[in-house]
């Protein structure tokens, strides 16, 4: 199946059913790893909203949720500088934090988010991402603990990911062709 967004063609890459199955497995891992603890899930907006909403339905332990908003893309072009648009609303001092990302490519945004969280002096930081582009990574992250899918270094849309603000609502994930 192919779609077009703003004259750019995309083809189906990951069906929603595959995403749901993977989320169930990540949910089980999180439930076991954080049993009898109360972690704080920090979602990175806007892209994480669908992933995080569905992920939290699979998390059955006590937990808290908050969000940060970072900007690293303009259209389909990565920007060098990552901007913080919305910061952390709560103190994370002494807390166990799970950063939830839609996609990690270069790692610039994640690096900024980790630095933002570290300033709050949490006990631990783990990263949970739906998509990871290993070929594009410019940093090593020891915090990277939960990965939905490793993908090639291609531009993707759907399931929270956008192209020029469009496509976040698609339930499947598509790659540019």
Active site residues per annotation: 105
Rounded to whole angstroms, the Cα distance separating 76 from 71 reads: 12
Nearest to 97 by CA among 36, 53, 34: 34
Sheet of 64-74, strand order: 77-86, 64-74, 40-45, 96-104, 124-132, 144-150
The answer to whether the beta carbons of residues 39 and 96 sit under 8 Å apart is yes
Helix (H, G, I), strand (E, B) or coil at 32: helix
Two structure tokens written together for 129: 């991402």
Nearest to 118 by CA among 141, 102, 134, 151: 141
The answer to whether the beta carbons of residues 137 and 105 sit under 8 Å apart is yes
């Amino acid at each position: 199946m192919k779609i077009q967004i703003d004259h750019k063609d995309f083809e189906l890459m990951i069906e929603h059913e595959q995403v749901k199955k993977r989320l169930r497995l990540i949910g089980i891992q999180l439930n076991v790893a954080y049993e009898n603890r109360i972690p704080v899930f920090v979602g990175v907006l806007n892209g994480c909203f669908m992933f995080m909403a569905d992920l939290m339905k699979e998390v059955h332990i006590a937990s808290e949720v908050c969000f940060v908003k970072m900007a690293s893309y303009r259209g389909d072009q990565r920007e060098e500088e990552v901007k913080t648009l919305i910061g952390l609303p709560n103190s994370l001092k002494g807390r166990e934090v799970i950063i939830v990302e839609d996609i990690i490519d270069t790692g610039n945004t994640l690096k900024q988010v980790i630095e933002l969280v570290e300033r709050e002096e949490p006990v631990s930081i783990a990263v949970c991402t739906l998509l990871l582009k290993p070929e594009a990574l410019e940093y090593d992250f020891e915090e990277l603990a939960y990965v939905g899918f490793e993908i090639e270094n291609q531009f993707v849309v759907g399931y929270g990911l956008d192209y020029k603000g469009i496509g976040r609502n698609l339930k499947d994930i598509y790659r540019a062709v």
